[in-house]
């Protein structure tokens, strides 16, 4: 019998898949939530479904809404070109145009509503502050602020049982995430990281390059097929 219920934000990518398997290893009854926001790379949802099935979790919800209505990101506006063939130094200079305005705030709000409905105690999210992308909503101070929102903005929180945001990867390098995923048995071949929107990973967008560089640094072959 599980003592802890947890909602896991699952994109189908390397990080979120590792987090789901970590939540399982932590002994949680797992409820995954994914988002179809009409993103360029909706192919990731196929991987989210595959990972949820492989992990044999309690439930997997896919929430649908449309962030292309106002765009603002290369992931929600096809008129904006994705950055390609950038090295790690270039990626670390500025917040990239693949940043989706307030995305994690939107995602965590849905996850919070789902978690409180379930009576869950935790929400797991695969944010990473060391990733070269430098997204503002993947940093520790942001997570700490959202934790206070969780406390103040819910019945559970006001009654002294605030739902905890769990961030197992926030201070890990990409290589360390892969090593953790290997230990947990994450099926990398079912995951998806590419931003380009095709049926085959492009290998040249920032997300692909970060992923490939980490596998290479570890002396491992990424089992995902690249164009």
1 pLDDT higher than 80: no
The pLDDT-based confidence of 146 (bands split at 50, 70, 90) is very high
The pLDDT-based confidence of 93 (bands split at 50, 70, 90) is confident
Domain positions in the chain: 4-217
Q: Please give the helix or strand (H or E) that residue 123 lies within, else none.
A: strand 122-124
Q: Two tokens at 48? A: 């989210």
- Stretch 180-186: mean pLDDT: 98
**205 to 95, 127, 169, 194, 199: CA distances (angstroms):** 15, 19, 22, 7, 14
Q: What distance in Å separates the CA atoms of residue 19 and residue 83, rounded to the nearest whole number? A: 27
pTM equals 0.96
The pLDDT-based confidence of 84 (bands split at 50, 70, 90) is very high
pLDDT score, position 218: 98
* Beta partners for residue 41, in sequence order: none
Say if CB 25 and CB 181 are below 8 A apart. no
Return mean pLDDT, the chain: 96
Read off the pLDDT of residues 11-49 as tens digits, 9 standing for 90 and up. 999 999 999 999 999 999 999 999 999 999 999 999 999
- Stretch 161-169: mean pLDDT: 97
Q: What is the fold of 4-217?
A: Rossmann fold (3.40.50)
């Amino acid at each position: 019998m599980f003592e802890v219920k947890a909602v896991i934000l699952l994109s189908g990518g390397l990080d979120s898949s590792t987090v789901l398997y970590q939540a399982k290893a932590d002994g949680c009854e797992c409820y995954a939530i994914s988002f179809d926001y009409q993103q360029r790379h909706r192919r990731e949802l196929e991987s989210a479904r595959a990972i949820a099935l492989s992990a044999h979790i309690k439930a997997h919800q896919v929430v649908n809404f449309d962030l292309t209505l106002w765009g603002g990101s290369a992931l929600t506006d096809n008129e904006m070109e994705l950055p390609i063939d950038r090295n790690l130094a270039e990626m670390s200079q500025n917040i990239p145009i693949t940043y989706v305005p307030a995305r994690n705030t939107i995602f965590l709000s849905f996850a919070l509503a789902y978690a409180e409905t379930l009576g869950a105690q935790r929400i797991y999210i695969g944010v990473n502050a060391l990733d070269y992308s430098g997204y503002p909503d993947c940093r520790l101070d942001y997570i700490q602020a959202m934790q206070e929102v969780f406390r103040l903005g819910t019945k559970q929180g006001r009654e002294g049982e605030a739902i905890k945001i769990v961030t197992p990867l926030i201070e890990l390098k990409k290589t360390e995430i892969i090593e953790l995923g290997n230990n947990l048995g994450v099926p990398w071949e079912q995951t998806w990281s590419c931003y380009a929107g095709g049926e085959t990973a492009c290998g040249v967008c920032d997300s692909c390059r970060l992923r490939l560089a980490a596998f290479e640094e570890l002396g491992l072959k990424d089992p995902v097929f690249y164009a």
